């Protein structure tokens, strides 16, 4: 049990809304860094105060490279959020990361470019470097693992999340390179979100669902890899939604 916990849930392609969230307020909040992605909904899940927003906006119109991560995370800080669970749909690179596997990653490699990625760029105060050896909060990640256990989900931990720029998916050669680098899964949104959370001293963990084999990893990988089906991705995302909600509910109970 932790004291004064306020949990934020960041939805993405997965988790466009949370049915179990009993809404208390919905706010549109301005920041010095521009417009955040969406309204912020405050409510309760299982007695715990929770803030929810979707990083892609209400009608999923903001592409991963256009998300104003800096404004979004600043709002969470203004709302006194202490813990953040980021939901992401990802591609599977290494063998265990098969479609419909749940993953609680523990490392990140950032391949993004041109995204606003720090609050330390105003030049009017001393630059604060952050330690980022472990980009995800271990205790919060462990709670996600407990929640996955409670739902008897098939899951993996110890996974490196490679963050690409998007919105296109990767080439086969890019995925091969990412695998050589040590990436297990690939997605487009964990950075700079995770780094902003660390700069603002909020605990951040990610729950990922593998919704496709990454480029070149499906079918016969050596002779005839299959191309990626967007319909299959959509289907898996909709299959994963209910379980995502249950996991969130279980984590809320663990944090109360």
Q: Is 148 in the site for ligand HPA (CB under 6 A)?
A: no
| Interface positions, 175-194, toward ligand HPA (CB under 6 A) | 186-188
Give the C-alpha separation, 223 to 98, whole Å. Answer: 19
Q: Is 105 in the site for ligand HPA (CB under 6 A)?
A: no
Count residues contacting ligand HPA (CB under 6 A)?
Answer: 12
How are beta strands 185-187 and 83-92 bridged, if at all? antiparallel
First to last CA, the chain: 6
Q: Is 87 in the site for ligand HPA (CB under 6 A)?
A: no
Of 144 and 188, CB closest to ligand HPA: 188
Give backbone dihedrals phi and psi of 35, rounded to 5 degrees, phi first: -80, 125
Q: Is 11 in the site for ligand HPA (CB under 6 A)?
A: no
Of 137 and 170, CB closest to ligand HPA: 170
Site string for ligand HPA, 107-126 (x = CB under 6 A): --------------------
Nearest-approach distance from CB 163 to ligand HPA, in angstroms: 9
Q: Whose CA is closest to 235, among 92, 99, 88?
A: 99
Q: Which of 81, 214, 218, 252 binds ligand HPA (CB under 6 A)?
A: 214
Q: Which of 50, 86, 108, 169 binds ligand HPA (CB under 6 A)?
A: 169
Nearest-approach distance from CB 31 to ligand HPA, in angstroms: 27
Give the C-alpha separation, 153 to 150, whole Å. Answer: 8
Q: Is 164 in the site for ligand HPA (CB under 6 A)?
A: yes
Give the C-alpha separation, 57 to 36, whole Å. Answer: 9
According to DSSP, the residues that pair with 213 across neighbouring strands are 92
Of 16 and 256, CB closest to ligand HPA: 16
The residues that touch ligand HPA, with contacts defined as CB under 6 A, are 89-91, 164, 169-170, 186-188, 211-212, 214
């Amino acid at each position: 049990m932790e004291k004064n916990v306020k949990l934020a849930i960041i939805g993405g392609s997965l988790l466009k809304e949370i049915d179990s969230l009993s809404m208390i307020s919905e706010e549109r909040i301005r920041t010095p860094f521009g417009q955040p992605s969406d309204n912020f909904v405050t409510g309760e899940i299982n007695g715990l105060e929770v803030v929810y927003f979707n990083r892609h906006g209400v009608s999923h119109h903001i592409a991963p490279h256009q998300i104003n991560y800096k404004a979004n995370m600043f709002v969470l800080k203004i709302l006194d959020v202490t813990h953040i669970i980021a939901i992401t749909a990802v591609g599977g690179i290494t063998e265990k990361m098969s479609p419909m596997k749940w993953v609680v990653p523990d490392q990140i490699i950032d391949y993004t470019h041109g995204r606003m990625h720090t609050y330390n760029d105003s030049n009017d105060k001393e630059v604060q470097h952050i330690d980022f050896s472990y980009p995800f909060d271990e205790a919060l990640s462990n709670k996600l693992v407990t929640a996955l256990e409670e739902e008897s989900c098939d899951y993996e931990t110890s996974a490196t999340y490679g963050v690409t720029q998007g919105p296109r998916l990767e080439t086969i050669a890019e995925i091969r390179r990412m695998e050589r680098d040590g990436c297990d899964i690939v997605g487009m949104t964990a950075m700079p979100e995770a780094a902003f959370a660390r700069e603002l001293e909020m605990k951040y963990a990610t729950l990922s669902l593998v919704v496709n084999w990454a480029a070149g990893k499906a079918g016969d990988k050596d002779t005839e890899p299959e191309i990626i089906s967007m319909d299959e991705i959509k289907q898996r995302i909709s299959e994963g939604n209910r379980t995502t909600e249950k996991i969130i509910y279980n984590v809320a109970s663990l944090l109360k």
